[in-house]
Structure 1
Amino acid sequence: MRRRAARHVGVLLTATLTALVTAVLLVSATVLAPGVAQSALERTLAGADTDESELTASTGMDEEWLGLDERVRAVATESGVVASVVASAASAAYSAPGMPDDHRLAVSYVEGADTRAELTDGRWPADGAPVVEAAVHRAALDTLRIAVGDILELHPLTGDDTPVPVTVVGAYVPADAADPVWRGYGAGVRPAPSGGFTVVGPVLAERDDFAGRLAPDTASAAWQLALDRDAVTLDTAVDAAAAVRELRGRLSDLRATEAGQQVSVDGAVAELVERARDAAAATRALLLVVVVMLAVLSGWALLFTARLVAGRRAPASALLRARGARTGPMLRWSATGVLVPAALVALAAPPLARLVLRPLREEVEGTPTAAAGWIVAAAVAAGWLVLMVAVDLRSGRSVSGVAAETARPRRAAAQRAGLDLALLVLGMIALQQLRRPPGEAGEVVVTVAPALVVVAGTVVLIRALPWVARAVASLTTARPGIAAMLGAQETARRTARHVAAGVLVVLAITVSVFSATTQSTWAAFRGDAVDLAEPADVRVVVDTAVPAAGSQDETRDELLGLPGVEAAMPVVRGGYRDGELTVDVVGVDLEAAPSVVRWGETDRLSALHGEARGALPVLVTSGFAEALGLSSGDEATLDLGGGQPVPVLVAGLVDTVPGSTRAAAVLADAEALSTRLGLPAGAEWWLSTVDDGAAAATAARELTAVDDVTTHAQALADAEDDPSSAGIMTGLTAGLAFTAVFVVIGVVVHSVTSFQSRSAEYALLRAIGLGRRSVAGSVTVEHTVLLGFATLAGLGLGLVVAWLVVPHAVAGLTGLPEVPPLRLSVPWPVVALLGCAIVVLAAVLVAVQIALTRHIDAAAVLREGT
């Protein structure tokens, strides 16, 4: 047994390396896939808007409020999916001395106001003071012409109209003016929509004072129930979504029996949880698509190398059987010879997998499936051991059989039985499933179907290899020279000898092209999404209600003075919900936008100039137009977020709107939007810079009235550093690396063993007078036909599978933005480089074989009789 192992140590080491690479691949996938999926789920939850991540329960406020508050909190706690409950109450049915008739004063209570706002002067109010204490929004102080320490007299406009004196003990600024707890009054002064009232405030009081001494009968109470993100995992997402829906129902039923009262519940939290679950599933599927195809490739590589080892041992095995060796001893000898390499594979694979995953160590370390890596490694090693023994025992049954197989290999038993045709049928079924629209195919289909299509395509190509070889042979026969004819005839006559290596090369190149195309498409999609979300070099949000904020011209001059800034453009933003449809409204400066905005349709802005028949020209996304049944040239009346319907003219349909990643969005002239809707002009600015905008962003953060600053460069870097995105890119890169290893193993081992097994044939050709150059030419043609066909077939099959699968794998990641649209991005330089690498590898191996054929001692080889 030792002599047997020593004689064939080269092929045994090759088989061991193949098994080790397979084990590392599967262990890495076992550890990486759940971590990447969980990251995608967490990313989707973290990136959700407040109206998606919180339920808002609201009702009229009365003497039952305190009891109702306790019941709301009890129901929230029992649901198990609520992280916090924030109660608030508000009414805008107040006036104050000196306020214009078209102004109203908002008075509110916000639970934990000190954590949602920052004091700029004074202190927070206390409950139960002789005179009610309150804190006033800083922007409202000037409008009310009061200061901290003054007495503000509140005049209720409904119910008991007795004035209520309030001591102003503090001034505050909300940490997030858009937080729902501020009821839309976060700016301190909300300009009046057409025909409405300008609302000033809110004036904040403590709970008991608000409920017992201030609240009129028009006050409303609300509770913000925030989703507990820790309660949503890969395993609990389905139950969490069901719990949220049950919670909505229980909240709605809290006052169902009270006449004239009800609890209204808003918020798409259940839909968010389901979207996060789908994002995790699709992200995991995208990674597993490559893993499953690599598993098919590695399985074939294991079988390929096992057959090589068994083929080398076959003559000795046949001789032992001829001398009376029985199956039992043969089984023990075969298993013992592979036992040590299999143990090494099981022990080495997990540490090597962790080395491969080092860039994602923090994300994958400590995951529940990390320990399963050892189980997977042991399973691969055990499976490889069984495969090696089974193939070894099946070979070398008789000396005559070994000689016949060496002379002219037969087709594989599975092929003779027609099992490859069964695989072809499965591949056609998988192909039909992949042709369905993105999102309709399940995770199992998206994961397994590509591998079946690849296998089916490989079956077709292998069935075609003899025809290709015969065609080449017929062409070379008609030409002068014996070398090309011999090489082509050899490939055509003994196609089965080359099938295993050909399949390995086709599978490896297919997986490589698919991985590279998916990687390129993912990167392009991610870049397009960042271009939409952050369409300018720098985006600055200004709090226009802050007294220090100057006019729009002053703000422009201040921003233009920042380092590296070339242009500054004011942007108007709005938005509204129409049933289940959320619509973003964006207004830009039509003259400045082409030089500031990253948007491929800036030429369409010319359609927004002026007005047509009193209607506001707008560009709308195709998704929005489809939802409302609009087309270019239509006139309609839309809300656009101003509270009053506005007549608009659909000047054109666009794929996307800069500054929005929603499928439904509207783009218009900023000045026209501000005038028509009363939306604040100059609350947001987009800047173009001569560099990446980092210096301008740093300087902008120091400005007094600036709330937020973001840059395109930083947003792109954050997208690239996202754990789930990094995990996908790592998996795809690893796919390229693994396929390279398998290609090298397959091509090199096939070339070496082919030369060794056919040295007698080369010696015979030399003995009958064929020159060294002719023998070398025959070898060259033979390998060129095989590798050329396999390379072209693999490249074509990889592109076809990518075209079929990537729209499902990438477009199905529902946790990503609704837009931009997916565009397949084929990395042609990488594809070309891959083809060139195979050509170079083949050229090197052919050159080595040619050199070896020139040194064959024909007489010595023929004397050996082998």
Structure 2
Amino acid sequence: MTWWRLSRRALADQRGAVALVVLVITVLSLAVTALPRIEATARADQVRHRLADVSPQLRDLSAVTSADALSALDPSLPVTPEDNRRRWAAIAESFEATRTEVSPPLRDALGAGEVTATTDGYAIPLGPGSDVRLPTLSLAADQRIAERVEMVDGAPPAPVSWDPAAGGGGGAEELPDLEIEVMLLDASADRLGLATGDRITVGNLYHDLTLVLSGTYRVLDPDDGYWAHETNGAQPRVVEDLNLGTAVNGRAYVASDGWWSTLAALGQPAQVSLWYPVDVAAIRGGDPALLAAQLRGLTAQQVELTASGGGGGGGGGERSVSIGFASELAVRVDAVAGENAAASNIVALVVVGPLGVAVAVLALLTQLLLERRRPALAIVRARGASPARLRTVLGLEGLLLGLPAAAVGWGVATSLLGTSPGWRGWLPAVVLGVVPAVVLLSPPLPTGLRGRRRDLAVGGLARDVVVLAAAGLVLSQVLSVAPGAVAGTGDPLLVVAPLVLALAVTVLVLRLYPWLARAAHTVLRRGRSLTGFLGSARAVRDPGATLTSVLAVVVGVSVAVFSVVTLATLREGVERTVWVTSGSDLRISGPRIDAAQLEQVRSLDGVAAAATVATVSPAILSSPSASVRATLHLVDGAAYADVLADVPPSVGAAPVADLLGDGGGAGGAVPLMVSPRLDLAPGADGVRLSTGESVDVRVVASGNVLPGVADAGATWVLADAAALPDVAASTPARLLLVRLVPGADGDAVAEAVVGVVGPAGVENAAAAREAATGTPVLRLLTGTLAGSVVAAALLALGSLVAVQAAAAPRRARMLATLRLLGLRRSAQRSLAWWDLTPWVVLGATAAYGLGLVTSHLLLRTLDLRAFTGADQPQPVLPPVALAATAVGVLLAVVACSILPTIRRARTPTAQEDP
């Protein structure tokens, strides 16, 4: 019989276990291939999500300089249209060269540079029938304006005709009249009372200047980011002034190939705006931290625009102009980079555990294949098979099982997610595909029909020492990290900490369990219970607790606990941030809100409580040791406390109720509540508050935040408005907090409130909470953490099933013998319980404690402020979820313990060796 036939028959006899090995490798390969790309997509989407609402003025990389400064790039006198176009080309060439010198990823995000120029406004005569008191026109030019507008009436302007030799040098009064054709936005022309063909005379020091309106245009795409920089070109600029009247400025575009001649003729200063549009979609694929560093570097220095010499009479050589770019995008990108880094760190911490469980389960299943074939392999070797050839066959069998399954998982992930990754994308799948071969080749070849326990021998002791030393190193590294200090790409030791600590707990369980089993056996053998005696003896002599099985249980339970705690911490942190910002279900800000309006709001359907807040800034708080500036907030203490009734205790809201019932305070002093940043202890003497007039005050309490009013970083003072009636009377309330009746429609109530108080800014806490938890990286974290709990539970359960399956032949032979001796089925179930429950309970208990410890140690080191606001959150222990985790572990143990007794074991025949 050939080796191929032997292998095929052996694997076919164990087709159930083979199918499980193939399934696990396929699923793992799919996961390790898909998860990095899912994470990368979520990080990229987070960049797009956070930057999508940034206006082009703040987002784009822009600079402003004078037209005279840019003329140095082409110093020749512009007279003809060709001269004008040459100067535009010199500016565009130098601007584009600057962009190409920028390194990726910033260069990939920068679009083609835009250059526009404009003058100050010219006062023009009032148009007939126009209500505009101060009409002005600014001359402007842009070589690409024709691409963005279409003519409504008339024609585009022609270049100005200018002869610098005109006038004969006889002085400004001898210069000829100058006419400049312009085109104007149709809305601007209507507002200014102008029509195509109108001639507008304006003042100029050198010429009798006339602007001729050659036509009007409309904007093709008002949403084009270009018009965010050139707002006057897309709509007239209107300023309403009660004293001076209405002022309207329109942007009148001059022909670009006559612009520089126009400036030279008028002697008029002009400014030039240059900017690179930033493509948010292009940013998605780059590294946000690197992008922010590039932006800061580019905006922190002067950039040289350099044009090559030649032509135009300007002389040879290079000519340059220094400009300074500005952009507020770096701040936003830094924030996104922080969120992405924190998310990556958490995902890495969470994924390492289930991956370890998965590899352990795969190793268990592969060992099960080998254990079932031990008698056959021993016989084959006894008949003279070469050990090298036998190992070669086992290795090829492992590769035959692993590599095709890994390829299938990789292919499915690639087809579902699109683009094929590089070698780093398929390397994890290949490594997983090799695992069965490694496991089959790692143990020594069988020489007999009985296996020996090796993991507790001398070699196992050396392994345990190494694992414990590594765990001590990792633990010392974690303890040395300051709270919230780990950001960026994280610390590799921190990432592997959960798995290394789980290994340490595993070896401790393996060392402790035999002692406990012997102690239990010593006690039970003195009793009268046969099943207790036999079960404890079996637990001592043939325990199912191996390194891989215990590691699967420890990692599975600890990862489940860590994921539950992390998910609760993130959710409560986001919730706390929303409560600190909003303070109530609805936060209305802007208009003045008087007592009558407040009563109308309280009478609206769906409103449970409402309170106004008046703010006085600055207020001076003086103590015998120092005087500090603070912001005074005046509230109706009872109403504000009523609004805060639903605020969770975790928010750390100041105890507003302490302001109530204090009367006038000691000696008539006004009771105050202060921010901890003011460093004033309750009951401090000699404290006075000055807001124009100085009064004695008494500090009754201190608190971290005033929900909806001030966070922990502010220096605030809170007083009851009734205690400072003069200040309250002169300070209108511009903030309204509303608590809704449970089940009320927040949007409908907000609309009704605005109808009472007038146009205002409305913040809906429910919508803010949904927006905060709906970001791409938070969805990734929620899915990863929830998925890790499910995956770890299933994999740990799979390891228990594998242990039971591995022990099934020995158990069947023992139970068959005991049944022949008259052992009842209930006793058989008790013996099956002894095979699994003791060491699983011990390992799960240790893992549960490990999960709680690692949650506190690791979450304190990660910088989670990007998700939870200014304060580093403390780990949150959700009792219900943790209790459910413990119950789930217990049910899994019970299910796996009774699994072997569900079907009656077949009694071995006489030909089978028990």
Q: TM-score, normalised by structure 1?
A: 0.70
Describe the SS at the equivalent of 1:864.
coil
Measure the CA separation in 1 of the matches of 2:351 and 2:801.
24
1:423-822 paired onto structure 2 within 5 Å: 423-435=467-479, 436-437=481-482, 438-440=484-486, 443-445=490-492, 446-495=494-543, 498-542=546-590, 552=594, 556=598, 564-570=606-612, 587=633, 589-591=635-637, 592-597=639-644, 599=647, 600=651, 604-605=655-656, 619-620=674-675, 653-659=702-708, 664-668=713-717, 684-690=735-741, 691-697=744-750, 706=759, 708-766=761-819, 773-809=826-862, 811-812=863-864, 814=866, 816=867, 818-822=869-873
Tell me: CA distance 1:551–1:333, structure 2 relative to 1, closer, same or farther (3 Å): closer
From 891, 894, 900, give the equivalent of 1:843. 894
Whichever of the two has the greater Rg, that structure is 2
Match of 2:429 among 359, 377, 388: 377
**CA deviation profile, 1:99-124 (whole Å, cap 9, x unmatched):** xxxxxxx9999999x9xxxxxxxxxx
Cα distance in 2 for residues equivalent to 1:574 and 1:298: 61
Evaluate the alpha carbon distance shift between residue 202 and residue 541 of structure 1 in structure 2; reply closer, same or farther with a 3 A threshold.
farther
Aligned partners of 1:76 and 1:247 also within 8 Å: no
Cα distance, 1:664 vs. partner? 2.2
SS at match of 1:397: coil
Q: Which amino acid aligns with 1:656?
A: V
Q: Is the 8 A contact 2:610 2:640 kept in 1?
A: no
Closer, same or farther: CA 818–841 of 1 in aligned 2, 3 Å: closer
Shift of 1:848: 4.0
C-alpha contact 1:537 1:713 (8 A) present in aligned 2: yes
Write the distance in 2 (CA, Å) between the matches of 1:316 and 1:326.
14
Q: Once the two structures are aligned, what percentage of the paired residues are identical?
A: 18
Letter in 2 for 1:377: A
Q: Secondary structure at the match of 1:325?
A: coil
RMSD of aligned Cα (Å): 6.3
Specify whether residues 824 and 75 from structure 1 end up closer, same or farther in structure 2 by C-alpha distance, changes over 3 A only: farther
Q: Secondary structure at the match of 2:385?
A: coil
Can you give the 5+ residue segments of structure 1 that lack an aligned partner in the other structure?
95-105, 115-125, 136-146, 151-159, 161-174, 192-196, 255-261, 356-360, 545-549, 577-582
Q: Distance in 2 between matches of 1:615 and 1:741?
A: 62
In 1, the alpha carbon distance for the partners of 2:536 and 2:551 equals 19
Question: In 1, Cα distance between the equivalents of 2:370 and 2:245?
Answer: 86
1:26 deviation in Å?
1.5
Task: Judge conservation of contact 1:26–1:376 (CA < 8 Å) in 2.
Answer: yes
Q: Partner of 1:35: helix, strand, or coil?
A: helix
TM (normalized to structure 2)? 0.67
Q: Do the aligned partners of 2:46 and 2:336 also contact (CA within 8 Å) in 1?
A: yes
Question: Residues 283-333 of structure 1: CA distance to partner in whole angstroms, max 9, x if unpaired?
Answer: 112112111112211121122211111111111111111112224653554
Q: What are the superposed Cα offsets for residues 317-376 of structure 1, whole Å, 9 maximum, x if unpaired?
A: 111111122246535543554555435523542476589xxxxx9xxx457759976554
Report the 3-state secondary structure (helix = DSSP H, G, I; strand = E; otherwise coil) of the residue aligned with 1:443: coil
Contact 1:618 1:666 in 2 (8 A): no
Shift of 1:523: 1.7
**Superimposed CA distance per residue, residues 443-502 of structure 1 (whole angstroms, 9 cap, x where no aligned partner):** 133322222222222222222222222333334344432321322232233347555423
Cα deviation, residue 606, structure 1:
6.0
Residues 847/263 of structure 1: CA separation in 2 closer, same or farther (3 Å cut): closer
Residue 6 (structure 1) aligns with: 12
User: Matches of 1:420 and 1:650 in 2, distance apart?
Assistant: 63
Distance 1:562 1:461, change over 3 A: same
Q: What secondary structure, in the 3-state scheme, does the structure 2 residue paired with 1:536 have?
A: coil
CA shift in 2, pair 1:693/1:766, >3 Å: same
**Residue equivalent to 1:832:** 883
Query: What is the CA distance between 1:793 and its match in structure 2?
Result: 1.9
Partner of 2:81: none
- 2:697 & 2:271 partners in 1: Cα distance? 38
Aligned CA distance change for structure 1 residues 416 and 339 (closer, same or farther; 3 Å) = closer
How far apart are the structure 2 equivalents of 1:281 and 1:315? 52
CA pair 388-203 structure 1, distance change in 2 beyond 3 A: same
Q: Cα distance 1:111–1:450, how it changes in 2: closer, same or farther (>3 A)?
A: farther
User: 3-state SS of the aligned residue for 1:688?
Assistant: strand
Question: Aligned residue pairs: how many?
Answer: 771
Report the counterpart of residue 310 of structure 1 in structure 2. 370
Any idea what the Cα deviations from partners look like across 1:39-91, whole Å, max 9, x if unmatched? 344445457799986789789x9976998997997898565466788999999
Q: Separation in 1 of the partners of 2:497 and 2:359? A: 17
2:380 aligns to what? 320
In the TM superposition, 1:129-140 aligns within 5 A as none
Which shows bigger deviation, 30-39 or 718-727?
30-39
Is residue 361 of structure 2 the alignment partner of residue 301 of structure 1?
yes
Contact 1:763 1:862 in 2 (8 A): no
Provide the C-alpha distance between the structure 2 equivalents of 1:805 and 1:311, rounded to a whole number of angstroms. Answer: 39
Cα–Cα, structure 1 residues 201 and 501, in superposed 2: closer, same or farther, change >3 Å? farther
Query: SS where residue 737 of structure 2 aligns?
Result: strand
Mapped to 2, the partners of 1:111 and 1:635 lie a distance apart of 66
1:384-439 deviations in Å (ceiling 9; x for gaps): 34225424xx454312xx4243xxx2326795261232122112221222222222
Which blocks of at least 5 consecutive residues in structure 2 are unaligned?
A: 1-5, 74-87, 124-135, 146-156, 161-178, 186-190, 195-204, 206-222, 232-236, 306-321, 619-628
Q: Secondary structure at the match of 2:891?
A: helix
Q: Which AA in structure 1 matches 2:343?
A: T
> 2:28 is matched with which residue?
22
Residue 686 of structure 1 aligns to a residue whose secondary structure is strand
Question: Structure 1: which amino acid aligns with 2:585?
Answer: D
Counterpart residue identity of residue 397, structure 1: P
Distance of 2:596 and 2:239 partners within structure 1: 22
- 1:245 counterpart residue number: 296
C-alpha separation in 1, matches of 2:461 and 2:746: 66
